[in-house]
Every structure is written in C-alpha cells, then in structure tokens.
C-alpha cells in the first residue's frame, strides 16, 4: 500500500514495484514472439530455444497465401479508413456546430459498435447478410469495419473542433471568405492532424480486426483470419511467429504516431476505444 | 457559383445540418441498427430439428432453449469469468493508474500513457498468440516454474476441478490470465483519468487534518477513484462476455457465450439460437451500464 499520497512526493517502493510490474506484464509477452521468430523448432514451442535461425523470414516471404491475405487486409483497411474519415468528420461537424434534438443520441449510436461486444456486431451483420442473401465479398468486410472505425475519427475530430477558436471562423467570414474557402483555409488546417491521428487509428483497428471479420468475410482470408486459423489449428508455427511480429510492427507505427499527435495537442481521446 | 451556393447554404442552417448528419446517420441506422434489428427478429425464429431449416414465424421456443441446463451453464461460466477478470484487472491496474496520475514526472507520464495506450489499439490477436507461446506445455512459463521448483504447485492448481485442465494452455486458468492481460489497458486508463481529477489540495487538506497516508488513501482517494474502476469494468466485463477468440484458442470443451454463438451460427447453422444467445450479453451489458451510470462511471470515461 502506498505510504505517500500527496502530489510531488515520491511513491513508496511497494507502489513503484506494482506499477512497473504491471507495465512489464503489458509489454514483455510481445517480446516473446520476437524471440520465437528465431527458433529452428517447427513442431513445438520449446523454451529455451534449441538454436537460432533466420530462415523463417525468407520462408514467410515466399508464401503466396500470406501475400494474398496481406493485400486483402490492406485494401479493406484503406477503404474502411476513407469511409470512416468522411462519415466521422461529417458527424463531428454536425454535432459541433449545431444544437439539435437527439444530439446525444448521435454520439451514443456511433459509440455503440465498440461498446457492445464485437460478436454482437459480427453476428448481426452475418444474420443480415444471410437474410438478404447478399453474397460475401470484399465489401461486406469493409461495411463491417467502417461501423466501428467511424467513432474513432469522430472522437478525434470532435475533440479538436471543441478546442478550436470559434472566432477564427467568424473572422474568416467577416473578411469575405465563403463557407468553402473558410473550410479550406481555416477549418481544414485546424483539424488536419486530428484527421491524421483518427485515420491512422482507424487503419490500425481495421487492419487487425478479427471478430467482426470472421462473420463478414465468408471464405475470404484476411491476415488476422489467417493468424486465427493458426491459433486454433497450428500448422505453420514458425511462419505464424514471423507474421505475428510483422503485424505488431506494422500496426505499432501508426498507433504510436497517432498517440504522439494527440498527446501533443492534448486531446483526450483513446480512453474509450 | 461557389459564392452563391455558400450564401444559399448559409441562410439555411437546417439544410446544412441535414447534409452533414445525413450520410453518417443513414449509414449507422441502416447498416448497424438495421442489422441489430434483423438479429432481434431472427432470435424469435426457430430451427426445425429434423429438416435443419429455419422456420420464420414468431416463437419464444428459441429463447426457452437458452434456459436449458447446458446453455445456462455457459452463461454462468462466462459471467463468472468476466467477473473474475474484472476484479483481477482492477487490482493490477490500480497501482499503475495511481502511479501515473500522482507520482510520475510530466515527462515520464507522457511516455507511460503512450505505453499503456499502445496495447489498447495494437493487435489483439497477436497478443493472444503471444500467450499461446508462453503457456505452452514446453514453453517459457513451464520452464520458469521448473526453475523455481514449483511444478508441484502448478500440478495441484491444474488438478482443481472447474478451473484446472491438462495444461496451462488448455485450461480456464490459462484463459483467465490471457483475458486479464488483454483487457488490462481498458482498466488502467479510466482509473488514471479519475485519479488525475483528484485535486492535490484535497489530499493536503486530508493530511493537514491529521489523516495518516493510509487513511487518506482509503477515505479520500479510493472513493474518488471508484467511478473510474466502474468505467473500466464496463470494458473488461463486456469484452470478456462476448469474446470467442480466447476460448477457442486456449479453452477446452466447456463453452463460453461467444464460442457458443460462433459454433451455433457456423457448423450448426442455427442462426436463431445464435441470435438469442447474443441477446444475453446485450441485456447483461444494458443492466450493467444502468448500474454503472448510477455509480457515476460515465463522468469518468
């Protein structure tokens, strides 16, 4: 239990230990995957590693099924992000600039896909696709992803709007700019980094989403679905290690920069995924 | 031309609002709410056992199936796991959130917040996969336990009925560890946010009035941080309730809700039962959210 409570004092060693222990617990497991990409062992997860090899990186690069899955995931994430950017920004602008009946309901509706367990969204879309006899396609995946990506952009952009000086817009109008010019020269530069941060988070979210995708992909394989199939029925353990590390790194960068951007502009999104 | 359009729109704020709000609302209402509605309707249909066809007429028969012992056990098991995970996450997250909010220097704080938020967004699936490696029978955790000569304790733990299993990688204990790990950031951030808002003057006042540090912690800090804990628990509880990846990867033959839904809609082709089962977490979460709102959790989000 902590012995110091007032701000500015040093934390007790017990608290410090518990805090850093929690932090290690959050991050060490990922490093274990990095370690295992080097194992020569194909059939088990033996530790300590029986040796060191770099051949699995080469093997993974040769796999056509992985390239197909990666391409599909990137395409889906790109389109879902664009849809989320457009819809999220529109909704944020509407909620920011006007008071209207049901304004609270808008936020609620947008946050619902991430507040409810992912399986609800997944099975709901699956049932709809089945009932309306829509064939599974690239677009069924995109539509599913966009539902939960919109709120990410919405939160980021709305937070930025709220910190923006309303007087800037008035000044722009007073100086004779029309609405489109005001948007182009005043509003857009203000929200640009929020769009970037929201877009990157939406991309990362879509790129490694698996729960909703399982229900909307049909027979198609995105990269997360490929990993999931390896989780339940491991066939290519070493290659899976390499893919897992790759996915971690490719999502790390956009998330890290999005966090930096939001930390710098002191927005407080991210608390609710 | 643009000038005229701009003026035209400026004079009609309701039209602008409709143009802004229209596309996102249309999308969310038609695609999302529409799907939820179709899901709800399907939960009132039923699967004819002999023909394997879905009968599209209103019945409560499918809901009655939920209360059969096998399905009821699934609900109890899942809710129990969700509750255990929530408590464990709160215990681990509190010191970290407290440390970040009240003791870390501003520079360290920025880095710690990023370190805690990163796993929130980063690949959930890969993080589950990491534990598959760690918990494997021949893996690093077993090696470590061997090193400490604790195999006896582990075997005893795994022999316990209800939570044990053949190995850590195939037991409720393993699932519990992975769930705690996966949802931990969702608990840390609301707790940290709630503690951030506790003014330093309040703590000074408490100690000026003669409270010992532990008393201040128990009577001032803990009650003020509680809404944050409840806010975090919304996520840990809800996410555990609906997850099927962890049970499918690390569980045994004893089903969890998400897993049951997954298999009913898949191989069994029983969409009505899958739909009705899904309503379980939805109802539980609605009740949970109502209680959480009473406890002031929404202010801490």
Per-residue DSSP letter, B47: E
Whether residue A150 sits in one domain with residue A137: yes
Residue A161: closest CA among A136, A129, A183: A183
Per-residue DSSP letter, B138: T
Nearest CA in chain B to A103: B21
Q: In chain A, how many domains are there?
A: 2
Domain membership of residue A6 (yes or no) is no
Chain A within 8 Å of B261 (Cβ-Cβ)? yes
pLDDT at A268: 43
Query: How many helices (DSSP H) and strands (DSSP E) are in chain B?
Result: 16, 2
pLDDT at B68: 86
Read off the pTM.
0.86
Q: Which domain holds residue A195?
A: 56-264
Q: In A, residues 105-164, which contact B (CB 8 Å cutoff)?
A: 106, 109-110, 112-113, 115-121, 123-128, 130-131, 143, 146-147, 150, 154
Whether residue A148 sits in one domain with residue A65: yes
pLDDT, tens digit (0-9, with 9 covering 90-100), for A51-93: 788 788 888 788 888 888 899 999 999 999 999 999 999 998 8
Whether residue A236 sits in one domain with residue A106: yes
Domain membership of residue A216 (yes or no) is yes
Domain membership of residue A96 (yes or no) is yes
Average pLDDT over residues A224-231: 88
Nearest-CA distance A239 → chain B (Å)? 13
ipTM above 0.85, yes or no: no
- Cβ <8 Å between B126 and A1: no
- Cβ <8 Å between B32 and A227: no
- Cβ <8 Å between A123 and B274: yes
pLDDT at A5: 43
Rounded to whole angstroms, the Cα distance separating A128 from A149 reads 20
Give all domains of chain B, ordered by start, each with its CATH number: 2-35 (no CATH), 68-300 (1.10.3720.10)
Whether residue A122 sits in one domain with residue A22: no
Residue B4 has pLDDT above 70, yes or no: yes
Domain membership of residue A273 (yes or no) is no
Whether residue A171 sits in one domain with residue A42: no
Q: Kindly list the distances between the CA atom of residue A154 and the CA atoms of A196, B25, B167, in Å, as whole numbers in the listed order.
A: 12, 12, 44
pLDDT, tens digit (0-9, with 9 covering 90-100), for B59-98: 888 888 888 888 888 999 999 999 999 999 999 999 999 8
pLDDT at A265: 66
Whether residue A61 sits in one domain with residue A29: no
Whether residue A124 sits in one domain with residue A63: yes
Cα four-point dihedral sign A206, A210, A215, A221: positive
pLDDT, tens digit (0-9, with 9 covering 90-100), for A111-166: 888 878 888 889 999 888 888 888 888 899 999 999 989 988 998 888 888 888 77
Which of B32, B187, B255 to mutate: most A Cβ within 10 Å? B32
pLDDT, tens digit (0-9, with 9 covering 90-100), for A99-115: 777 777 888 888 888 87
pLDDT, tens digit (0-9, with 9 covering 90-100), for B187-234: 998 898 888 888 888 888 888 888 888 888 888 888 888 888 888 888
Residues of A with Cβ-Cβ distance to B10 under 8 angstroms: 179
Query: Tokens 């839904």 correspond to what residue?
Result: B261
Rounded to whole angstroms, the Cα distance separating A88 from B24 reads 7
Of B122, B234, B274, the CB nearest to A252: B122
Whether residue A150 sits in one domain with residue A22: no
Domain membership of residue A30 (yes or no) is yes
Q: How many CB pairs under 8 A join A and B?
A: 304
pLDDT at A269: 40
Whether residue A47 sits in one domain with residue A147: no
Whether residue A123 sits in one domain with residue A35: no
Whether residue A117 sits in one domain with residue A75: yes
Average pLDDT, chain A: 83
Residue A40 has pLDDT above 90, yes or no: no
Check which CATH number belongs to the domain holding A68 and give it. 1.10.3720.10
Per-residue DSSP letter, A73: H
Chain A within 8 Å of B81 (Cβ-Cβ)? no
| Tokens coding B212 | 């010992």
Whether residue A106 sits in one domain with residue A47: no
Nearest-CA distance B111 → chain A (Å)? 10
Domain membership of residue A111 (yes or no) is yes
The alpha carbon of B127 is separated from its chain's Cα centroid by a whole number of angstroms, namely: 15
- Cβ <8 Å between A116 and B133: no
């Amino acid at each position: 239990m902590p012995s110091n409570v007032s701000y500015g004092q040093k934390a007790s060693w017990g608290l410090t230990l518990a805090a850093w222990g929690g932090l290690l617990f959050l991050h060490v497991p990922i490093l274990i995957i990095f370690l295992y990409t080097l194992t020569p062992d194909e059939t088990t997860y033996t530790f300590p590693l029986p040796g060191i090899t770099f051949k699995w990186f080469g093997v993974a690069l040769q796999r056509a099924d992985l390239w197909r899955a990666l391409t599909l995931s990137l395409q889906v994430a790109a389109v879902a992000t664009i849809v989320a950017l457009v819809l999220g920004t529109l909704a944020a602008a509407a909620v920011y600039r006007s008071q209207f009946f049901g304004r609270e309901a808008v936020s609620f509706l947008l946050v619902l896909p991430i507040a409810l367990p992912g399986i609800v969204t997944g099975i709901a879309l699956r049932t709809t696709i089945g009932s309306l006899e829509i064939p599974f396609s690239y677009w069924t995946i995109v539509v599913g992803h966009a539902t939960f990506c919109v709120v990410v952009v919405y939160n980021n952009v709305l937070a930025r709007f709220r910190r923006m000086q309303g007087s800037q817009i008035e000044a722009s109008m007073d100086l004779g700019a029309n609405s489109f010019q005001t948007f182009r020269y005043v509003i857009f530069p203000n929200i640009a980094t929020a769009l970037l941060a929201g877009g990157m988070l939406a991309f990362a979210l879509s790129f490694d989403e698996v729960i909703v995708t399982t229900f909307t992909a049909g027979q198609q394989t995105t990269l997360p679905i490929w990993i999931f199939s390896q989780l339940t029925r491991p066939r290519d353990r070493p290659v899976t290690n390499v893919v897992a590390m790759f996915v971690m790194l490719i999502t790390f960068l956009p998330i890290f920069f999005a966090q930096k951007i939001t930390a710098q502009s002191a927005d407080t999104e991210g608390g609710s995924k | 031309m643009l000038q005229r359009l701009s003026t035209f729109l400026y004079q009609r704020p309701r039209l602008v609002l409709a143009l802004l709000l229209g596309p996102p609302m249309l999308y969310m209402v038609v695609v999302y709410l529409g799907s939820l509605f179709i899901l709800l309707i399907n939960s009132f249909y039923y699967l004819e056992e002999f023909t394997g066809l879905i009968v599209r007429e209103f019945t409560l028969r499918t809901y009655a199936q939920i209360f059969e012992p096998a399905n009821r056990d699934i609900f109890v098991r899942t809710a129990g796991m969700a509750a255990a995970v929530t408590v464990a996450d709160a215990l681990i997250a509190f010191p970290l959130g407290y440390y970040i909010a009240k003791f870390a220097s501003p520079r360290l704080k920025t880095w710690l917040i990023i370190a805690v938020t990163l796993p929130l967004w980063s690949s959930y699936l890969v993080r589950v996969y990491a534990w598959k490696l760690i918990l494997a029978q021949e893996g690093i955790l077993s090696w470590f336990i061997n090193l400490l000569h604790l195999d006896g304790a582990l075997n005893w733990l795994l022999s316990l009925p209800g939570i044990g299993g053949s190995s850590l990688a195939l037991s409720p204990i393993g699932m519990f560890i992975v769930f705690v790990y996966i949802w931990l950031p969702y608990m840390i951030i609301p707790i940290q946010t709630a503690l951030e808002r506790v003014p330093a003057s309040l703590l000074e006042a408490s100690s000026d009035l003669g409270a010992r540090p532990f008393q201040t912690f128990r009577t001032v800090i803990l009650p003020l941080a509680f809404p944050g804990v409840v806010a975090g628990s919304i996520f840990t509880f809800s996410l555990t309730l609906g997850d099927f990846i962890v049970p499918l990867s690390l569980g045994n033959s004893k089903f969890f809700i998400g897993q049951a839904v997954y298999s009913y809609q898949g191989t069994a082709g029983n969409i009505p039962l899958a739909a009705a089962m899904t309503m379980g977490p939805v109802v539980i979460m609605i009740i949970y959210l109502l209680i959480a709102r009473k406890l002031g959790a929404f202010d801490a989000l």
